[in-house]
Structure 1
Amino acid sequence: MRYMLLVFFGACSYGILSTIVKLAYSQGFSPSQVIGGQMAFGFLLTWIPALFFLRTKPQKRLLLLLAGVGIAVGTTGILYYNSLQYIPASLAILLLFQFTWMGVLAEAIMTRKRPDKPTLASLLLLFLGTMLAGGLLENGGLQQFHPLGVLLGLLSAVSYTLFIIFSGKTALSINPWLRSSSMSTGSLLLTCLIYPPVFLIDGTLWDGLFPYVILLALFGILIPTACFNFGVPHIGAGMATILGAAELPTAVFASAIVLQEQVSWLQVAGVAIILLGIILPKLVQRKQPKTASPAA
């Protein structure tokens, strides 16, 4: 249960990001400044606790593999934050949330096992709840879609799925804090190739950008990456993607409280359905009778 709560908390942490990004955009900051700052400070925040676990030197090959997993984290941020320029946040996060079924499908293919009925029922609830909570059935719905924004949103779901899958399978022998710092290194390298860190020398960082990027680094890099690295190996990618759906309700409530965005009753109903979809597999598991151990 504690590993499930870790993944749930990490997903909630991700849900705060869209609100912070929208606040940063409203102050005139560009995606390159926001993304670059997040990855740079995420790199620093993850390496601070990791330094206490460097007494035993891990294999360089494993660290490189973890940096490769970190590229998926950086790719998700780049794609998702750029999609927010073309489509509303509710639609962008709706597209990102396609990782719920993508992750379960990917795990089914890799393990060659069909998802059980509780998992399929949970996915159905998550899909319905996401449609409602994302506001797709109101405010114009499909008419708000922009082709480029849709493409970026869907690709962010693919990269996020890859992160969840490989974060639970790569270099599990390495301390989770070292795994997090190695992943953040890969994210930073990718971001610097696409968005050179000009904000470090042009004065933008101390001209209002710092509060936003330090919060994004905390809630978008340090907390969720550590939570996923500790939790996913113990619960599996399929359950992790279901718990990851907690990101959308958090995003809805954060935008309503901080940005004063109106939340309809349909969206509230969608959030409730998502929460039901998250806890359904655990409820079914508890109701199943435990098999008695054979007598010695």
Structure 2
Amino acid sequence: MEQFKGAIAVFLGAASFGILSTFVKQAYAQGFSLAEVTGIQAVFGMLFLWALHFITRRFSRKIKLYSKKTNYWKIIFAGFSTGMVSILYYKCVGLIPASVAIVLLMQYIWISALINLLILKQKPSQKEGIGIILILFATLFATGVFQDTVEKLDLAGVVYGLSAATAYAIFIIVNGKVGNDYPPIQKSALMVTGAFILIALILQPISLLHSSTDISIVQYGLLLAFFGTIFPPVLFAYGMPKTGVSLGSILSAVELPVAVGMSFYVLHEQVSTLQWAGVLAILGIIVWINIRNKPQHN
């Protein structure tokens, strides 16, 4: 029963990540800029997470069990990576279809393996190596390379997408190594604070302070913060320990079909049969890579 509850939590957390690109596209259609969209998400996310941390610290006894040894500024600095993901991915979404942008972001799978190999000297298993090659092949279908779709893709958008995938790979690696001696919500709050600092320095979303700014940016900020900054980290923190890494990784892959489905049904973007086949192939490969003969619980 506990594993089932954890699986539902991870599934919902990943699905919420998948709908972000749709909200970003809609915000752009309303005339809001990259700085405004990323800035408002970071502000609301940071405020809500800190509020949630102080509330849980007041009522939870488990928090007192954590022995904090990591300097908090290291976690804030690690949060720069998630800030870069937002900047690069949302820029990508503004230049190419959301259904293609999410496929490019999913390339973090082989990019993280490459980083582990080159920097951390950790070789992927034979199964992972085969899976990575298959994912690269399936990506050609998912992005429409074999169709006219590729001719419509903005090259800069593709570069931003792959850069976002690289930043996401770095975020995953760093997130797994830094600040694990902190309560999950406090760690998330510190990392989002780092993301906000980076966004403020690079994009300088000063227009959010102008009285002439369309107040509807608030609704997009709340949606993006809730589904991208608040909801998923809490659900993953609850669900991952119950599901284990293998099952959790499989469930997390639902982000891909959710994002493509939202772009097709809500944004009415053209997604061909071959692209759907590529998306489903990537999903299947991720499941295959993470399947174990016996479930692993961490």
Pick the TM interval, shorter chain: 0.7 to 0.9
In 2, the alpha carbon distance for the partners of 1:227 and 1:261 equals: 30
In 2, the alpha carbon distance for the partners of 1:284 and 1:13 equals: 26
Q: Say whether the 8 Å CA contact 2:48–2:230 is kept in structure 1.
A: yes
Deviations 1:110-163 (A, max 9, x none): 66442223323333343333332333332341x334443333222211111111
Q: Say whether the 8 Å CA contact 2:102–2:260 is kept in structure 1.
A: no
Equivalent AA in structure 2 for residue 23 of structure 1: Q
Q: Does 1:87 align with 2:65?
A: no
Deviations 1:162-201 (A, max 9, x none): 1111111112111101111111111111112222343133
Q: Does 1:26 align with 2:29?
A: yes
Correspondence for 2:49? 46
TM-score using structure 2 length: 0.81
In 2, the alpha carbon distance for the partners of 1:73 and 1:81 equals: 12
Correspondence for 2:275? 267
In 2, the alpha carbon distance for the partners of 1:185 and 1:120 equals: 36
Give the 3 Å change call, closer, same or farther, for CA 132–147 of structure 1 in structure 2.
Answer: closer
Give the 3 Å change call, closer, same or farther, for CA 215–84 of structure 1 in structure 2.
Answer: same
Correspondence for 1:292? none
Correspondence for 2:61? none
In 2, the alpha carbon distance for the partners of 1:48 and 1:270 equals: 41
Q: Say whether the 8 Å CA contact 2:249–2:290 is kept in structure 1.
A: no
Correspondence for 1:293? none
Q: Does 1:204 align with 2:213?
A: yes
Give the 3 Å change call, closer, same or farther, for CA 73–25 of structure 1 in structure 2.
Answer: same
Structure 1 position 53, deviation (Å): 4.3
Gapped runs of 5+ residues in structure 2?
A: 59-63
Correspondence for 1:138? 147
Q: Say whether the 8 Å CA contact 2:28–2:94 is kept in structure 1.
A: no
Correspondence for 1:162? 170
Deviations 1:67-99 (A, max 9, x none): 112111111111111223333334433332221
In 1, the alpha carbon distance for the partners of 2:69 and 2:125 equals: 38
In 1, the alpha carbon distance for the partners of 2:11 and 2:47 equals: 24
Structure 1 position 21, deviation (Å): 0.7
Deviations 1:193-249 (A, max 9, x none): 22234313324252x21221211111111123334556678966x997776543322
Give the 3 Å change call, closer, same or farther, for CA 131–96 of structure 1 in structure 2.
Answer: same
In 1, the alpha carbon distance for the partners of 2:36 and 2:183 equals: 31
Instruction: Identify the range of structure 1 (224-233 vs 195-204) with the bigger mean alpha-carbon deviation.
Output: 224-233
Give the 3 Å change call, closer, same or farther, for CA 214–137 of structure 1 in structure 2.
Answer: farther
Equivalent AA in structure 2 for residue 30 of structure 1: S
Instruction: Identify the range of structure 1 (175-184 vs 146-155) with the bigger mean alpha-carbon deviation.
Output: 146-155
Partner SS for 2:291: helix
Q: Say whether the 8 Å CA contact 1:246–1:274 is kept in structure 2.
A: no
Q: Say whether the 8 Å CA contact 1:125–1:276 is kept in structure 2.
A: no
Alignment of 1:272-291 (within 5 A): 272-286=280-294
In 2, the alpha carbon distance for the partners of 1:283 and 1:64 equals: 37
Give the 3 Å change call, closer, same or farther, for CA 61–169 of structure 1 in structure 2.
Answer: closer
- Provide the identity percentage: 37
Structure 1 position 38, deviation (Å): 0.9
Equivalent AA in structure 2 for residue 47 of structure 1: W
Give the 3 Å change call, closer, same or farther, for CA 216–145 of structure 1 in structure 2.
Answer: same
Instruction: Identify the range of structure 1 (70-79 vs 188-197) with the bigger mean alpha-carbon deviation.
Output: 188-197
Gapped runs of 5+ residues in structure 1?
A: 289-296
Correspondence for 2:201? 193
Instruction: Identify the range of structure 1 (117-126 vs 20-29) with the bigger mean alpha-carbon deviation.
Output: 117-126
Partner SS for 1:172: coil
Q: How many residue pairs align between the two structures? A: 285
TM-score using structure 1 length: 0.82
Partner SS for 2:293: helix
Over the aligned positions, Cα root-mean-square deviation in angstroms equals 3.2
In 2, the alpha carbon distance for the partners of 1:20 and 1:282 equals: 30
Instruction: Identify the range of structure 1 (128-137 vs 166-175) with the bigger mean alpha-carbon deviation.
Output: 128-137
Partner SS for 1:277: helix
Structure 1 position 284, deviation (Å): 4.1
Alignment of 1:124-135 (within 5 A): 124-135=133-144
Instruction: Identify the range of structure 1 (126-135 vs 252-261) with the bigger mean alpha-carbon deviation.
Output: 126-135
In 2, the alpha carbon distance for the partners of 1:127 and 1:247 equals: 18
